[in-house]
Amino acid sequence: MKRKQTNTIKLLLLVIISFIINLPIKAQSFRKYSNEFLNIGADARAFGMGNNVVANVSDVNSVYWNPAGLTQVTDSWQAALMHAEYFQSIAKYEYAAVAIPLNGGTEGTVGISLYRFAVDDIMNTTQLIDNQGNIDYNKISRFSTADYALMGSYAGNLFNDPNLSVGANAKIVYRHVGKFANAFGFGLDAGLQYRTEDKFYFGVMVRDITTTFNVWSVNEKELNKMELDGETLNEAPEDKIELTIPKLKLGVAKKLDISEKIGFLAEANLNFEFSKTNDLVSSDVVSMSPSLGVEFDYDNTVFLRAGFTNMQHEMQYDGTKKITMQPNAGIGFKYRGVTVDYALTNIGNASVALYSNIFSVKIDIAEFHR
């Protein structure tokens, strides 16, 4: 079993290396925005630190941030739940995950996670206007649009080194827009982590490493119901295939024991997108923005967090550009095997996004037996 695990890990490492070498050549062939709901994140602890956890994440939430961190789940299974609402509760986002160590973690750790992002009660106006141009408000109906993703994760130690781990996600995506269209997709993520004895942590996460694709099926009959003077007002898109641009995240973290009961953790990330964006550093091939997060803990029971992310050049009304960032803050409380976390993003309206209140719960079964 160990030999099979080692061969699997070596293959994952080879895929990561070949991806990093060849990505700049392929970057121009992808769509800029695709499966954006999978870029929201998961876990209020991570949000509170400005999403800066790729190097230090070590629990069930590794399934999203860096699957390599699952190797730290060894004693028993863990589970996590999160609920968030966006745009004044118009959009709702749910996340659930479980991590299960195999033979005490000696044969690796597996994880399963489910994501849902949905907007309900959208007005369907495709039949609002008849062929003669008459408006009939009684023909307005409502529909929902929802995005789903199911991920399976696996992580293990590389070269039998307990401080060096690698992991991967395989994800299936399903998206639907009422009766008008639906899509299925598939993709892979991969990550690495390295931990030193003096509590330095290093992490690499490549999201959509093989490109995640969606194949859309459009119900043109439903979409084309709105006509005027014999002409269709809603035309189906010609391109039925989406390819998601990969993203690369590099992180380094340091854990300090300030006193016997007070701890401090800081992590800095470099976030890369392989397209031209408004990030702090941008080119036609790759863009990069830095981010930083910190966490204080008292007796590993009470947590206080802060961080920033999304450092960008934002266009102002007078045509000038201003560097902006999104601040985040959060708190957490842990009692035995239950951890409750809360995060508040975009404090002080420093970005164009609305305030978001995020809650998550984590259950660690091993803690109940100690």
Q: Are 301 and 333 in contact (CB under 8 A)?
A: yes
Question: In this predicted structure, what is the pLDDT of residue 182?
Answer: 85
**Domain limits at 9?**
2-368
Which residues, given as ranges, of the chain have pLDDT below 50?
1, 4, 21-29, 226-233, 236, 348-353
Question: In this predicted structure, what is the pLDDT of residue 355?
Answer: 62
CATH number, domain with residue 220 = 2.40.160.40
3-state DSSP assignment of residue 48 = helix
Neighbours of 6 (CB within 10 A): 15
Q: Compute CA 274 distance to the chain's CA centroid, rounded to the nearest angstrom.
A: 17
Q: Cβ neighbours of residue 264 under 8 Å, at least 6 residues apart? A: 255, 256, 257, 258, 294, 295, 296, 297
Question: In this predicted structure, what is the pLDDT of residue 181?
Answer: 82
Q: Cβ neighbours of residue 136 under 8 Å, at least 6 residues apart? A: 127, 128, 130
pLDDT in tens, 173-219: 998 887 778 889 999 999 999 999 999 999 999 999 888 888 888 77
Question: In this predicted structure, what is the pLDDT of residue 318?
Answer: 78
Q: 279 forms bridges with which residues in the sheet?
A: 312
Query: Half-sphere exposure (CA, 13 Å, Cβ side) for 294?
Result: 6
Question: In this predicted structure, what is the pLDDT of residue 250?
Answer: 96
Question: In this predicted structure, what is the pLDDT of residue 351?
Answer: 42
State pTM to two decimals: 0.82
Q: Are 184 and 150 in contact (CB under 8 A)?
A: no
Structure tokens, 259: 């006193």
- Based on the structure, what is the number of domains in the chain? 1
3-state DSSP assignment of residue 365 = helix
| Phi, psi (degrees; rounded to nearest 5) at 46 | -65, -40
